[in-house]
């Protein structure tokens, strides 16, 4: 399953809800959720702890648009729009966490 998160972990508990409920799979951070993929943010330790259960990806154009490309947490896979489409195609189901 592909889990899609688009809300910032600084203002919303969407990422925590996903990590607490889902049993694993691919997880992609898009839009404001890309803040979770950066070193030094409040969600960093939690996300790192779950990286054995989830394959974590981040939409690189969204990270770059926020000027955060140089702060990517090691182990998170950056993808472009084509990579996002591949993740959607590869997974039988997709869950957008709101």
Query: What domain range is 89 assigned to?
Result: 2-97
The whole-angstrom separation of Cα 47 and Cα 55 is 11
Mean pLDDT, 10 residues at a time, the chain of 98 residues: 96 96 97 97 94 97 97 97 98 96
So what's the pLDDT on residue 73? 97
Coarse DSSP helix, strand, coil percentages of the chain, rounded to the nearest 5 percent: 40, 25, 35
Q: Which two tokens stand for residue 45?
A: 């330790």
Residues 6 or more apart whose Cβ sits within 8 Å of residue 91? 1, 2, 25, 26
Number of domains the chain is built from? 1
CATH of the domain at 52: 3.40.1260.10
For the question of whether the overall pTM of this predicted structure is more than 0.85, the answer is yes
Residues 6 or more apart whose Cβ sits within 8 Å of residue 73? 37, 38, 39, 44, 47, 48
């Amino acid at each position: 399953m592909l889990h899609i998160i688009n809300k910032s972990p600084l203002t919303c508990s969407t990422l925590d809800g996903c990590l607490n409920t889902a049993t694993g799979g691919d997880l992609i951070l898009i839009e404001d959720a890309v803040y979770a993929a950066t070193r030094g943010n409040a969600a960093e330790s939690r996300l790192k702890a779950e990286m054995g259960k989830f394959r974590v990806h981040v939409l690189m154009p969204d990270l770059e648009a926020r000027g955060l490309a140089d702060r990517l947490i090691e182990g998170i896979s950056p993808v472009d729009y084509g990579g996002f489409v591949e993740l959607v195609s590869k997974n039988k189901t997709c869950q957008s966490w709101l």
